């Protein structure tokens, strides 16, 4: 059996190099018995181990603390003085002064997990010896930490357990859930203070939604969808904070840990549980149509925030299609009916043109969906999630994009869910979603879009997995036959039965 090598043996020269001090100084201290005790002797000469030397330096030589990793700092014999809180860029620093020197815990703001402003922290926290950046994740005994010395801000010295941080400052470390890292809360905290009850920071900005809601008639569809969406934002962030506290409690209450290392500084205000389907679908549609039709800056900001949240899933249209009117008769037919959109542009155009830079704004009069013309003359359209048709489906056109025609002759872009796309010619999610959409359109032309890739009749799934030539037109009769498992024929070759297993 191979015996693993022991720790490296350092002589006085390597000890001096480790601490970045002169060898003569260490030799003088060693002669006086003031240096770290040797780990042993080798050929009559003393040697030391790195951990012993670093622990000695952190405990005995305060001027070296800014180059000694926190892992080697000594445990406090009494609570370290509290230094308060200081706001930094995208973070708040909370500090103590243990014996080796000022130590600051850095609490990054939500949305800024990869904190990169250590140089700025050093400038705004003069005299700091070390930093412990508290991540949003957890380790074996508490929140995960990234630690840095003031003399080496580029390298995470790592390895520090939450319990060791508590031992260094001689008291429990305050903990703020990630979504409760609110600067005012951290600044107001003092050792021994009870946990405060506070509203979690929403992932996205609820301010424009609530401000616009305050400007609208009470209980109007637009007001209701705005308040509802703001509550969704708030509820999700509150759930994140509650989950953080649940994980922390499970860690601290484990048999191998001690809860005394941590004090919870803030807990989230409860928010009623809320879901997208709590509002009637017709009300949601009407409310967002009202918001999207507005031209004020608050409505624009509301659209931007909801797009960040889930791609605009609540909107009547959220996915985009690029359309070249010069390629294919159906694209040309659809493009011919577009009308110029008068200035100012509505908030709906933020779905298509976040920078408001498109040269020409258009509208599809059949759906009221926005369209823009790009610099190369091509069109980009917002695709409705539901068709406003009043007559049934008559044909489906497999093209780029996919088209739907109804009995009154109107041609529409095939409706799209905010997440699922449509395609054909292989076994996968796109064809599965197309089969589901066809199944629904045959039953109700005003149906919801395909919100999954499963659930269609097997015959329709077989049809959409077939590699049809681009431009293939499938009639209602053919689609119904496929759905029912009956033979059907292509429009180009009525003599070929497809789907006949005989």
Tens-place pLDDT, residues 58-69: 888 888 888 889
SS (H, E, C) 174-209: EECCHHHCCHHHHHHCCCCCCCEEECCCCCCCCHHH
Residue 357: the pLDDT is 74
Residue 500: the pLDDT is 44
By the 8 A CB rule, do 162 and 261 touch? yes
Mean of per-residue pLDDT scores for the chain: 90
Comparing 149 with 497, the larger pLDDT belongs to 149
Residue 25: the pLDDT is 83
pTM: 0.80
CA distances from 336 to 325, 330, 333, 390, 395 (A): 9, 10, 5, 21, 20
CA–CA gap between residue 8 and residue 170 (Å, rounded): 31
Q: Name the residue among 129, 159, 156 with its Cα closest to residue 141.
A: 159
The tokens for 80 are 């370290």
What would the mean pLDDT of 9-22 be, rounded to a whole number?
A: 88
Domain range summary for the chain, segments of one domain joined by + = 12-60, 205-262+270-315, 332-381, 393-490
Residue-wise DSSP of 114-130? S---HHHHHHHSTT--E
Residue 2: the pLDDT is 56
- Cβ atoms within 10 Å of 426's Cβ, excluding its own: 12
Given the structure tokens 């149509």, which residue do they identify?
Answer: 289
CA distances from 148 to 68, 130, 134, 161, 248 (A): 9, 6, 12, 14, 24
Confidence check: pLDDT of 3 > 60: no
pLDDT digits (tens, 9 = 90+) for 473-483: 999 999 999 99
Q: How confident is the model at residue 502 (pLDDT cuts 50, 70, 90)?
A: very low
By the 8 A CB rule, do 302 and 322 touch? no
Close Cβ partners of 355 (under 8 Å, ≥ 6 residues apart) = none
By the 8 A CB rule, do 251 and 258 touch? no
The tokens for 394 are 């008559």
What would the mean pLDDT of 355-384 be, rounded to a whole number?
A: 88
Sheet holding 82-88, edge to edge: 82-88, 91-96, 103-108, 130-138, 143-149
User: Is the CA virtual torsion 344, 350, 355, 357 positive or negative?
Assistant: negative
CA–CA gap between residue 90 and residue 124 (Å, rounded): 13
- Cβ atoms within 10 Å of 189's Cβ, excluding its own: 21
Per-position b or e across 204-234, b if 16+ CB within 10 A of its CB = bbbebbbebbeebeeeebbbbbbbbbbbbbb
Residue 51: the pLDDT is 87
pLDDT digits (tens, 9 = 90+) for 180-225: 999 999 999 999 999 999 999 998 899 999 999 999 999 999 999 9
């Amino acid at each position: 059996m191979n015996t693993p090598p022991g720790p490296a043996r350092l002589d006085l020269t390597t000890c001096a190099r480790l601490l970045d001090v002169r060898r003569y100084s260490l030799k003088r201290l060693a002669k006086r018995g003031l240096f770290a005790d040797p780990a042993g002797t080798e050929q009559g000469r003393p040697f030391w181990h790195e951990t012993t030397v670093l622990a000695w330096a952190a405990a005995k030589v305060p001027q070296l603390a800014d180059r000694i990793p926190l892992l080697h700092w000594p445990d406090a014999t009494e609570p370290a003085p509290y230094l308060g809180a200081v706001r930094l860029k995208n973070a708040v620093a909370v500090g103590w002064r243990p014996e080796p020197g000022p130590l600051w815990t850095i609490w990054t703001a939500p949305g800024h997990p990869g904190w990169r402003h250590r140089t700025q922290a050093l400038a705004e926290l003069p005299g700091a010896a070390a930093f412990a950046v508290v991540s949003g994740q957890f380790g074996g005994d508490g929140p995960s930490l990234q630690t840095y010395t003031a003399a080496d801000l580029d390298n995470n010295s790592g390895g520090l357990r939450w319990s060791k941080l508590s031992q260094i400052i001689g008291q429990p470390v305050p903990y703020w859930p990630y979504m409760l890292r609110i600067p005012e809360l951290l600044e107001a905290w003092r050792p021994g203070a009870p946990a405060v009850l506070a509203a979690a920071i929403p992932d996205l900005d609820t301010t424009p939604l609530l401000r616009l809601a305050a400007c609208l008639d009470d209980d109007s569809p637009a007001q209701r969808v705005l308040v509802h969406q703001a509550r969704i934002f708030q509820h999700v962030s509150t759930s994140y904070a509650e989950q953080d506290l649940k994980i922390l409690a499970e860690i601290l209450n484990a048999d191998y840990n001690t809860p005394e290392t941590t004090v919870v500084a803030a807990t989230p205000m409860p928010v009623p549980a809320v879901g997208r389907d709590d509002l009637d679908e017709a009300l949601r549609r009407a409310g967002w149509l009202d918001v999207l039709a507005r031209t004020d800056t608050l409505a624009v900001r509301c659209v931007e925030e909801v797009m960040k949240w889930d791609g605009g899933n609540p909107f009547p249209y959220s996915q985009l299609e690029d359309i070249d009117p010069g390629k294919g008769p159906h694209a040309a037919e659809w493009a011919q009916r577009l009308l110029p959109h008068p200035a100012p542009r509505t908030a709906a155009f933020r779905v298509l043109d976040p920078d408001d830079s498109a040269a020409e704004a258009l509208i599809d009069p059949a759906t009221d969906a926005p369209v823009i013309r790009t610099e190369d003359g091509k069109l980009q359209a917002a695709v409705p999630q539901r068709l406003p048709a009043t007559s049934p489906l008559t044909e489906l056109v497999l093209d780029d994009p996919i088209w739907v025609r109804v009995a009154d002759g109107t041609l529409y872009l095939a409706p799209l869910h905010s997440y699922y796309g449509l395609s054909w010619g292989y076994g996968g999610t796109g064809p599965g979603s197309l089969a589901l959409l066809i199944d629904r359109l045959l039953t109700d032309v005003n149906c919801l879009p395909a919100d999954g890739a499963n659930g269609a009749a097997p015959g329709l799934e077989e049809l959409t997995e077939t590699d049809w030539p681009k431009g293939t037109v499938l009639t209602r009769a053919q689609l119904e036959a496929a759905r029912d498992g009956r033979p059907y024929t292509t429009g180009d070759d009525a003599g070929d039965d497809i789907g006949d297993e005989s």
